Chain A
Amino acid sequence: MPNSQCAESNEMEVLHQLFSSATYDASAAMCRWTDGLITLTLDEVREIPLEDVCSELDINDELRTMVVLRLRGDIGGEMILTFDEKNGRQLAASLLGQPTSEDSRWNDLEKSALTETGNILGCAYINAITRLIDQELIPSAPYFIQDYGASVLQQALIAQAITCDEVLVCRTGFHREGEELNWRVLFVPTEAMRKAMEATMHFSTGICNR
């Protein structure tokens, strides 16, 4: 393998290690929040050309229910918890101890249940990253939104798009009793966050010396 490809491969490997640790913590928090029903697994960490990112992640013109958290500052990023309508409704109903709503509009209680889920999940994830890279990260309040998935993802990619033609995205999947759910967490770090992650993991694992 040429040196440049080897370096890229190592970078992705260290990022994968870091996101795996964060996903593990987020999964534990989600498991507690849902009484053991829901767990998370890290699906992929990859760089995708800007023009292909929505199609590659299968985030298109489908209406999605999303909770967005932003990490403020240079070492920041965007986290999007995304559900299809059916799964979002089922989670809200399960958390509220109510039957699944058939109403076309989401009521405040349902929105609050999903927003709080995003908050718990996001904070667990962010706490893990904070600990791993030893940097203070400040999350925004979670923002509930229903729209085309690609429209929301686009805005989350802007910070990386300023300097890069390829964007780094971490994708996490959810499972309920072993069954894969149509939920995702997409995390899009800023360039500065990515560099901080790589530097920390290189230092702690010595992977650059292999």
Chain B
Amino acid sequence: MTATIVETGSKSVGMGQIVLGRQPGRLTAILGSCVGVTFYHERLQLGVLGHVVLPTSNGQGAKPGKFADIAIPHMLELLKQHGIGPGELDAKITGGACMFGPDGPMQIGDANVKAIVEALKTAEVPIAGKDTGGSTGRRISFDCTTGLLLIDTVGNPSRTL
């Protein structure tokens, strides 16, 4: 398992992708019901962003970033290859909206967030920041120089985790 690292500029992380970034790189994503998960190592200024689509893999493993239950172990394994253990990281999570309102179809956002939180608990990675739920999309930008996660939503001021 090897992965390229974004070290310059900005890289958009698509649905089901996991991408590593090192300063001064920046990782971005657009989220609806999907959840964006970041891990960051401050001293190495190395981070990873996973764009998780669904809560459980039910045995499917072709694309590890797609499912919460296998995305978290996979992200940790990528960082382990750089000598980073789970105890040296903190996690931030965002997304998991119900885009079509509380009565709308495919209410997967809440289930995604719960599955991510559970997987992080199992992996013993503390959650340093969380901005989830609601009924609007999020545009996120993960700064690999600082570990800060900038979150934009339509019609609201930006927030930073």
Contacts and interface: CB of A to CB of B under 8 A. Distances in A.
Given A146-B154, A158-B54, A158-B108, A151 B32 contact: yes
Nearest to A156: B106
B69 to A, nearest CB: 14
Contacts of B34: 154
A155 B14 contact: no
A53 B100 CA distance: 20
Interface stretch (B71-79, B85-93, B116-124, B131-139): B131-139
A161 B154 contact: no
A50 B53 contact: yes
Interface stretch (A13-21, A32-40, A54-62, A200-208): A54-62
Contacts of A61: 30, 139
A201 B14 CA distance: 33
Contacts of B51: 51
Interface residues of B, number: 29
Interface residues of A, number: 31
Nearest to B65: A51
Interface string A53-79: 111000011010000101010000010
A152 B14 contact: no
6 closest pairs, A vs B, by CB? A151-B137, A51-B14, A151-B32, A150-B30, A154-B32, A148-B137
